[in-house]
Structure 1
Amino acid sequence: MLHVLGLGALFFPGLFLLARRCARRALPGWTMADRSLVGTRFVSSVQAVLATVSGLIIVSSCRDVRNDRHWLATAYLWFLIPYMTYDTYAMYLCHWYRSLEKENMDGKKLVMRAVKSFVQKDFLMFVHHMAILTILVPIGLYFRRGLGDFFVGCLLVAELSTPFVSLGKVLIQLKQQHTLLHKVNGGFILLTFFLCRILLFPFMYYAYGRQYGIPLYKVPFHIPLHCNVANASILAPQLYWFCLICRKAVRLYSNAQTKKVG
């Protein structure tokens, strides 16, 4: 799978540079930091679409949720390694460019400002990326012993909400947060995040229970403890992010209603 690893190492940074160049031509007044943010969000959306399509193919192909295999389940995990590595660096790069816009800063202060900004604003996302690279990917490639491609596919489908999240951030960058498009997109964020990142876990337990004739509420007691721990560890940050999304949605639609009344 080294060719898949190499392909990802070329594809994602190359797509980022292309997106940033297109942003420079389309929006010449934007700073390098703004163009880099758009580039990272575009690449994240492309990766999410690829992951979702791959996940749907895997899920629809695996009748036996425990034993059926599909080559994409392993291949895409290899493809995910360079993406997570690239995206971590790209997030830091955006903070670097923000710091670079500050005047009268020497190299050491510039680095420290970029690191501080990165840790403050993207720390949870950084931890999320590191957990995927150091824990989830090794488990998916080696420790699951070829079992559970169906569940790997399900986790890939969780990326469906990412393009809508990215579009929302780009609209805010363009100062279009009060438009109808932003409000409609916010609804899609809530829907896709809830379906594909929250309800996904009960669905996986339901699929396992249906195959083995086990009621949903008994499934956690029929699978290994480490599987339940892993699922809980993945679900916890999703619940946190979903709460944040709900709060933003309440503010967004409350402001819209206030303006209508006014």
Structure 2
Amino acid sequence: MFHALVAGGIVFPGLFLLSKNGLKWLPWLRWEEADAVIVSARLVSSVQAIMASTVGYIVSSSCKHIIDDQHWLTATYTQFAIPYFIYDIYAMFMCHWHKHRVKGHEAAAGARSLRAVTRTYLHKEFLMVVHHLFMVLVCFPVSVLWRQGKGDFFLGCMLMAEVSTPFVCLGKVLILYKQQHTLLHKVNGVIMLVTFFCCRILLFPYMYWVYGKYVGLPLYRVPFSIPAEYNLGSAILMAPQLYWFGLICRGAFRVFSRARRAGKDQALRNGHRPEEAQALD
């Protein structure tokens, strides 16, 4: 029963180590340890996201009866993915450690105790760590034991929330290496914004709407017709998504504002009058 769980415990850390060592030792790369760790962690997250969203699409499109239909991939991938969340807590910690070294704090980081580094890591990544622990300690038992084989369609929809993750990971890597000015970063930012909004924010109203259509209720009546624990679970899962979406929007606004200021400065350098440059805003 737990073969998939064991496989996930091997695949995700193994892929991280393989990628990290490959980036460090391939003759045409020869990256430093910090670069290899950070990029490898994002790579593994992207691979997991692609697998999860693919499984989610297969499951949700295969379950025509949204309550009773089952798909073998649902339980299998749920078990396979659980070790990823445990591994990723460690991978995020390693990224946190090496980012201090990248920023020129190598000596300070080396002198810190493990407790102090862990404290700053938990302060910075508290919400993500809680999210990962919630997936392991709550969502896994619920999906494997409490559901009793029902609702594979909805679990497939939840897996499709990972569609935005590869773009989030690419954006973080580009920001880390000061590539915010590139066209790639801007295009990736637009795709990230759209996919995050559609697959992580609209996902919950969509699932309520599908259920309402199934039982013959309008959307606004669905929350009042289902057990309170379902609404509570949806709220707990959606709250951090709204927070992270707000951060993405704020970052996109900063990039847009910076581009407008750069365009205005360029216009002034090209000899436009201040009022003409102001018109470019």
Q: Confirm whether residue 133 of structure 1 aligns to residue 148 of structure 2.
A: no
Structure 1 residue 149 displacement after superposition: 0.6
Matched, 1:94 2:95: yes
Label 1:105 to 1:239 Cα distance change in 2 as closer, same or farther (>3 A): closer
Find the aligned partners of 1:93 and 1:251 in 2 and give their Cα distance.
Answer: 28
Aligned pair in 2 of structure 1 residues 105, 71: CA closer, same or farther (>3 Å)?
closer
Q: Distance in 1 between matches of 2:110 and 2:177?
A: 31
Structure 2 letter corresponding to 1:116: R
> What residue number does 2:215 align with?
212
Larger Rg: 2
**Aligned equivalent of 2:107, options 87, 98, 103:** 103
Distance 1:169 1:196, change over 3 A: same
SS across alignment from 2:107: coil
TM-score of the two chains, using structure 1 as the length reference = 0.94
Cα gap change, 1:254/1:106 in structure 2, threshold over 3 Å: closer, same or farther? closer
Q: How many angstroms does 1:150 deviate by?
A: 0.6
Cα distance 1:67–1:34, how it changes in 2: closer, same or farther (>3 A)? same
Query: How big is each residue's C-alpha offset from its partner over 1:91-136, in whole Å with a ceiling of 9 and x where there is no partner?
Result: 12233445676337778x3312320231122111101100110011
Residue 148 of structure 1 aligns with which residue?
151
- Matched with 2:115 is 112
| Per-residue Cα deviation, 1:203-259 (whole angstroms, up to 9, x for no partner) | 101111111111111111111111011001101110011011000000011111211
Identity %: 50
Query: Would the aligned equivalents of 1:69 and 1:147 in 2 still touch at CA under 8 Å?
Result: yes
One-letter code aligned to 1:85:
I
- Where does residue 19 of structure 1 map in the other structure? 19
After TM superposition, the structure 1 = structure 2 runs for residues 203-242 of structure 1, keeping only pairs within 5 Å, are 203-242=206-245
Aligned 8 A contact 1:98 1:114 in 2: no
Distance 2:189 2:98 in 1: 28
The match for 2:167 is 164
Q: TM-score, normalised by structure 2?
A: 0.88
Deviations for 1:45-65, whole angstroms, at most 9, x for unmatched residues?
000000000000010011111
Compared CA separation, residues 104 and 183, structure 1 to 2 (3 A): closer
The runs of 5 or more residues in structure 1 that have no matched partner are: none
Of residues 98-107 and 240-249 in structure 1, the stretch that sits farther from structure 2 once superposed is 98-107
CA distance 1:94–1:220, shift in 2 (3 Å): same
Please tell me the residue identity of whatever aligns with 1:63. Answer: K
Question: What is the aligned partner in structure 1 of residue 127 from structure 2?
Answer: 124
Whole-angstrom distance in 2 between the partners of 1:255 and 1:168: 17
Q: Secondary structure at the match of 2:64?
A: coil
Call closer, same or farther: CA 1:131–1:187 in 2, change over 3 Å: same
Q: Which residue of 2 aligns with 1:48?
A: 49
Q: Which amino acid aligns with 1:114?
A: V
Unaligned runs of 5+ in 2: 266-281
User: In structure 2, do the counterparts of structure 1 residues 252 and 5 end up closer, same or farther at CA, with 3 Å as the change threshold?
Assistant: same
**What SS is found at the alignment partner of 2:217?**
coil
Provide the rounded CA distance (Å) in 1 between the counterparts of 2:257 and 2:6.
Answer: 47
Q: Which residue of 2 aligns with 1:244?
A: 247
CA offset at residue 31 of structure 1? Answer: 3.5
SS at match of 1:103: helix
Letter matched to residue 16 of structure 2: F
Query: For residues 65-84 of structure 1, what are the structure 2 equivalents within 5 Å?
Result: 65-84=66-85
Q: RMSD across aligned C-alpha pairs, in angstroms?
A: 1.7
Q: What is the rounded CA distance, in whole Å, between the counterparts of 1:98 and 1:194 in structure 2?
A: 28
- Which one-letter code corresponds to 1:213 in the other structure? G
One-letter identity of the residue aligned with 2:172: K
